[in-house]
Amino acid sequence: DAGVTQSPTHLIKTRGQQVTLRCSPKSGHDTVSWYQQALGQGPQFIFQYYEEEERQRGNFPDRFSGHQFPNYSSELNVNALLLGDSALYLCASSSTGRGYNEQFFGPGTRLTVL
Amino acid sequence: QKEVEQNSGPLSVPEGAIASLNCTYSDRGSQSFFWYRQYSGKSPELIMSIYSNGDKEDGRFTAQLNKASQYVSLLIRDSQPSDSATYLCAVNRASSNTGKLIFGQGTTLQVKP
DSSP B1-38: --SEE-----EEEETTSPEEEEEEES-TT--EEEEEEE
Rounded to an integer, what is the distance from CA A8 to the centroid of its chain? 12
Residue B97 to residue A94, Cβ atoms within 8 A:
yes
- Residue A96 — pLDDT band, cuts 50, 70, 90? confident
> B101 vs chain A: nearest CA distance in angstroms?
7
pLDDT at position B98 is: 67
Could you tell me which chain B residue has the CA closest to the CA of A43? B103
Identify which of B46, B51, B92 has the shortest CB distance to residue A104.
B46
> For the segment B93-111, what is each residue's pLDDT rounded down to a tens digit?
765 556 789 999 999 999 9
B71 DSSP β-pair partners: B24, B66
Contacts of B87 (CB under 8 A, 6+ apart): B6, B21, B35, B36, B37, B38, B74, B106, B107, B108, B109
> A82 vs chain B: nearest CA distance in angstroms?
22
> A6 vs chain B: nearest CA distance in angstroms?
11
Q: How far apart are alpha carbons B95 and B110 in whole angstroms?
A: 34
Average pLDDT for chain A: 95
Kindly list the residues from chain B whose CB atom is less than 8 angstroms away from the CB atom of residue A98.
Answer: 97
Identify which of A42, A44, A98 has the shortest CB distance to residue B97.
A98
Residue B97 to residue A42, Cβ atoms within 8 A:
no
Residue A42 to residue B105, Cβ atoms within 8 A:
yes
Q: How far apart are alpha carbons B89 and A97 in whole angstroms?
A: 23
- State phi, psi for B104 to the nearest 5 degrees: -80, 175
CB A25 within 8 A of CB A31: yes
SS3 A37: strand
> For the segment B56-85, what is each residue's pLDDT rounded down to a tens digit?
999 999 999 999 999 999 999 999 999 999
pLDDT at position A1 is: 65
Residue A2, pLDDT above cutoff 90: no
